Amino acid sequence: MDAAIPKQDAMGATTDEALIQAVREGDFQAYEVLYERHRLAVYRFIYQMVQRQEEAEDITQEAFVRAFTNLHKFQAKARFSTWITRIALNLCTDRIRMSQRRSNLEQKEAQGGLEWMTMANAAPSPVEKIEQERRAKIVRDAIAQLPEHHRTAIVMRDLEGKDYEEIGEVFGCSNGGAKLRVLRARRALRKILEPLLEEGMANEVSNDEA
Amino acid sequence: MKRKLEEQIIALAYGELEGAEAESLLEQISQDPELRREYEAYRKQAELLNAVPPPPAPSFSSERLRDAVFQQTIRKQRALPALGVIGAVAAGLLTLVVVQQIATSTRSAPIADETPVVALQDLPAPHEWVPSLIEDIQGSVGSGTAEPTVKVDVAPPVAKQPAPAQRANKKRTPAAPTRSAPSNESAAAPDSLNEPSPPAEDETVVILEDGGKAIEMEGTEGVAFGG
């Protein structure tokens, strides 16, 4: 059994499978390696789903705690990255549903408290920066209005750049099924985004005229 | 617009279509204003999604994760003994109920201190001789005799007639003999239970004022009351 698990990948790093085996044998440091390897990707996905940094950090940690406590259920035929993404998706879904139950006032307050960050390595002018932030906000608002399954598809494919195979694994469907889900999500996003963009353009024109 | 064509336009706008297929579609789009509008809309959408800034840098630490995992483990460990206690209490209650059921089914009447003790071996079943004993007692009480006597018609083969002291006791507690542990007396002289023994020579039967009967034994201070 142990011999079947590849210990190192092509780059000489310990494989996820070998680390998982070590964790199962009681080596928590091996789990810390897994955590450091995958936490950023998981966090990015979660952040795009919930759009709040603190919440995204909390969910990321919770996802890894759950993965650790359920590691005995993990099957080697799946990738750890896919498995942890599915756990994260479930947690995000719970959070999104909870937040949808809140009152509109609470939602507005929460959205008002969002901090939109800029790209650290780019150095746009202040005007360009404001424009970037405005567009980013429009897109995020549009994504936030999507049903959860469309949002997941857009985040995984168009924001996180995951391939269709991994998306299919997360959704539990084939490559073709994943492509179809992404296609439908893009159509749905367009229906929401176009009016917002037109509204944004109209506001821009009126501001310029003033 | 056909769905297949729309799918291809979306794929082209998102950069997922390449080669001859992409060139052919671009040629088709350039000649059709409606297709061009569709393509531009999705291309703009793809650009906007690409321009969404990455999430802010998170503040993670392995120590924080370790603490969280530790807390989770502690919570689980605390939950396990609680389940054990609940199980033990349930098992105890169940045992108590079972013991009570057994005690209720084996005891037909309350045990009195003076309940006569009989040998357990070779006795017929109580339902064979107890009802007639009760009838006799009821008959005697109903006749209003001052000094009721007990007549056992169907005596157990081994305990045919109790000793006088035991007979007196039976009148007070006409229930079936119990299976309580034999006293020292019965253990010391088991034959006295099997043979009806008339008052010994050193015993004197005394008739009490209330109709009771006592047996005095010379050389002893013990007096057994009955009736």
Residues, chain B: 227
Q: What is the mean pLDDT of residues A32-43?
A: 94
Q: Residue A176 falls within a domain, yes or no?
A: yes
Q: CA B33, B39, B42, B45 torsion: positive or negative?
A: negative
In whole angstroms, what is the distance from residue B160 CA to residue B198 CA?
13
Query: Low-confidence residues of chain B, pLDDT below 50?
Result: 112, 118-119, 144-146, 148, 150, 159-160, 163-197, 199, 218-227
Measured in angstroms, the CA of B42 and the nearest CA of chain A are apart by: 7
What's the whole-model pTM score?
A: 0.56
Any domain includes A158: yes
Residues B47 and B86 in one domain: no
Contact criterion met (CB < 8 Å) for B42 and A190: yes
- Only one residue has tokens 């085996």, namely A21
Q: Is residue A109 part of a domain?
A: no
Max Cα distance, chain B (Å): 141
Q: How many domains does chain B have?
A: 3
Structure tokens at B205: 């039967």
What CATH code is carried by the domain that includes residue A122? 1.10.10.10
Domain assignment present for residue A123? The answer is yes
Q: Judge whether B153 lies within some domain.
A: yes
On whether both A176 and A210 belong to a single domain, the answer is yes
Q: Are residues B156 and B200 in the same domain?
A: yes
Q: Determine whether the interchain pair B53/A40 forms a contact, defined as Cβ–Cβ distance below 8 Å.
A: no
- Do B137 and B92 lie in one domain? The reply is no
What is the tally of structural domains in chain A?
Answer: 2
Smallest CA-to-CA distance from A116 within A133, A131, A91, A104 is with A133
Q: Which contacts qualify for A156-165: CB closer than 8 Å, 24 or more apart?
A: A156/A45, A156/A85, A157/A182, A157/A185, A158/A182, A158/A186, A158/B14, A158/B46, A158/B49, A158/B50, A159/A48, A159/B49, A159/B52, A160/A41, A160/A44, A160/A45, A160/A48
Question: Residue A58 belongs to a domain with what CATH number?
Answer: 1.10.1740.10
Give A56's pLDDT tier (boundaries 50, 70, 90): very high
B130 and B198 share one domain: yes
Same domain, B166 and B221: yes
Provide the domain limits for residue A90. Answer: 1-104
Domain membership of residue B72 (yes or no) is yes
Residues of chain A neighbouring B62 (CB-CB closer than 8 A):
32, 35-36
Q: Is A186 close to B72, i.e. CB distance below 8 A?
A: no
The answer to whether ipTM exceeds 0.85 is no
Residue A193 sits in the same domain as residue A133? yes
- Give a three-class secondary structure readout of chain B: CCHHHHHHHHHHHCCCCCHHHHHHHHHHHHCCHHHHHHHHHHHHHHHHHHHCCCCCCCCCCHHHHHHHHHHHHHHHHHHHHHHHHHHHHHHHHHHHHHHHHHHHHHCCCCCCCCCCCCCCCCCCCHHHHHHHHHHHHHHHHHHCCCCCCCCCCCCCCCCCCCCHHHHHHHHHCCCCCCCCCCCHHHHHCCHHHHCCCCCCCCEEEEECCCCCEEEEECCCCCEEEEC
CA B153, chain centre distance (Å): 44
Say whether both B20 and B83 belong to one domain.
Answer: no
On whether residue A110 sits in a domain, the answer given is no
A204 in any annotated domain: yes
Residue A58 lies inside a defined structural domain of this protein: yes
Whole-number pLDDT of residue B181: 42
Residue appearing with tokens 């005007």: A127
Residue B131 — φ and ψ, nearest 5°?
-55, -45
B7 touching A (Cβ < 8 Å): yes
Domain contains A43:
yes
| Cα A88 to Cα A10: distance, rounded to the nearest angstrom | 28
Say if residue A193's pLDDT is above 50. Answer: yes
Domain span including residue B10: 3-51
* Tens of pLDDT, residues A150-169: 999 999 999 999 999 999 99
Q: Are residues A10 and A80 in the same domain?
A: yes
B134, B173 contact by CB (below 8 A): no
Residues A136-163 have a mean pLDDT of 93
Q: What is the pLDDT of residue A123?
A: 60
Predicted confidence (pLDDT) per residue in A57-86, tens digit: 999 999 999 999 999 888 878 899 999 999
Residues A58, A91 within the same domain: yes
In a domain, B27, yes or no: yes
B72 with B46, same domain?
no
pLDDT of residue B140: 66
Query: Would you call A191 an interface residue with chain B, using a CB distance cutoff of 8 Å?
Result: no
Do B177 and B196 fall within a single domain? yes
Based on the domain organization, do A124 and A81 belong to the same domain? no
Same domain membership, residue B136 and residue B74: no
Q: What is the pLDDT of residue B8?
A: 93
Give the CA dihedral A173, A179, A180, A181, nearest 10 degrees. Answer: 70
Q: Are B39 and B46 in contact (CB under 8 A)?
A: no
Statement to judge: residues B40 and B13 lie in one domain: yes
Domain shared by A4 and A96, yes or no: yes
Q: Is the pLDDT of residue A107 over 70?
A: no
Structure token pair of residue B94: 């169940």
Q: What pLDDT is stored for residue B184 in this prediction?
A: 43
Q: Of the candidates A104, A133, A151, which is a domain's last residue?
A: A104
Residues B148 and B193 grouped into a single domain: yes
In terms of domains, do B201 and B175 share one? yes
Which residues in chain A are closer than 8 Å to B55, comparing Cβ atoms? 43-44, 47-48, 53, 56, 117
| Residues A13 and A83 occupy one common structural domain | yes
